[in-house]
């Protein structure tokens, strides 16, 4: 299981189109995701002032885009990155944060 943090409006739009594309897909070429133990750190570093957030629970075996585990030099940790749009049916649960 991998996880992605997004806002409720962006997720609602994805449900209408059938796929999710985070802004990082366009700017960096991939969608940032985390392992469970990395979520708290990601929230603290990047989302401390955000509201209306959702945590997407993603079954990586259902992904249609490539998944790579890569080093994030800024925090010296390996994170999962999705190289393409996130297909909606790979998200098995959403959780309000």
- Judge contact between 28 and 22, C-beta under 8 A: no
4-32 confidence digits (pLDDT tens): 999 999 999 999 999 999 999 999 999 99
Looking at residue 76, what is its pLDDT? 92
- pLDDT for position 24: 95
Whether CATH 3.40.50.720 fits 2-96: no
Burial of 43 (0-12, 13-18, 19+ CB in 10 A): middle
Q: Which residues of the chain have pLDDT under 70?
A: none
Tell me, what's the pLDDT at 57? 98
Q: What is the pLDDT of residue 74?
A: 85
Please give the pLDDT value at position 50. Answer: 82
């Amino acid at each position: 299981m991998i996880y992605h943090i997004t806002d409720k409006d962006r997720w609602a739009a994805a449900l209408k189109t059938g796929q999710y594309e985070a802004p990082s897909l366009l700017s960096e070429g991939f969608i940032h995701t985390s392992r469970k133990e990395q979520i708290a750190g990601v929230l603290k570093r990047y989302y401390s002032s955000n509201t209306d957030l959702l945590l997407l629970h993603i079954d990586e075996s259902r992904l249609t885009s490539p998944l790579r585990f890569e080093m994030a030099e800024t925090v010296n940790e390996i994170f999962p990155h999705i190289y393409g749009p996130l297909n909606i049916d790979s998200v098995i649960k959403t959780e309000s944060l």
